[in-house]
Amino acid sequence: MRGPSSPAKPAHAQSHPATSEDALVAISFRNYYPDTARLFPELVARRVPAISITDSLLSPIVEGATVVFEIQDMPEPALRPLVAPMCLVQALAIGLDLAAD
């Protein structure tokens, strides 16, 4: 999807033009965000390559993903949703940039 969703531009509106030339990076943890869980299989069915970052291989955003990063739950609730996924996404972005050079 093109950028984070916002009230002015909901996830469905952003995902509508996605094709196999795009890539989906889906991030969702326990109490999975309903829009992400609903849109993920729709985009995978349209053959949009998908990278999933989630807490379990039973997550609704795993089936059909090209790559899955499973990040275990951390005991401190304030850290789990921030630290590990942000580090992973930053590493992916840097790696893609280096690969493009």
Task: Express each pLDDT in 36-57 by its tens digit.
Answer: 999 999 999 999 999 999 989 9
Distance CA 40, CA 24 (A): 8
Query: In 3-state terms, what secondary structure has residue 17?
Result: coil
pTM equals 0.71
Distance CA 62, CA 19 (A): 19
Which tens digits make up the pLDDT trace of 80-92? 556 777 788 888 8
Q: What is the pLDDT of residue 3?
A: 47
Which has the minimum average pLDDT: 1-5, 16-20, 22-26, 76-80?
Answer: 1-5
CATH topology of domain 11-100: Rossmann fold (3.40.50)
CA 82 to mean position of chain CA atoms: 14
Residue ranges per structural domain of the chain: 11-100
Confidence label for 93 from pLDDT (cuts 50, 70 and 90): confident
> How many CA within 13 A on the CB side of residue 53?
17
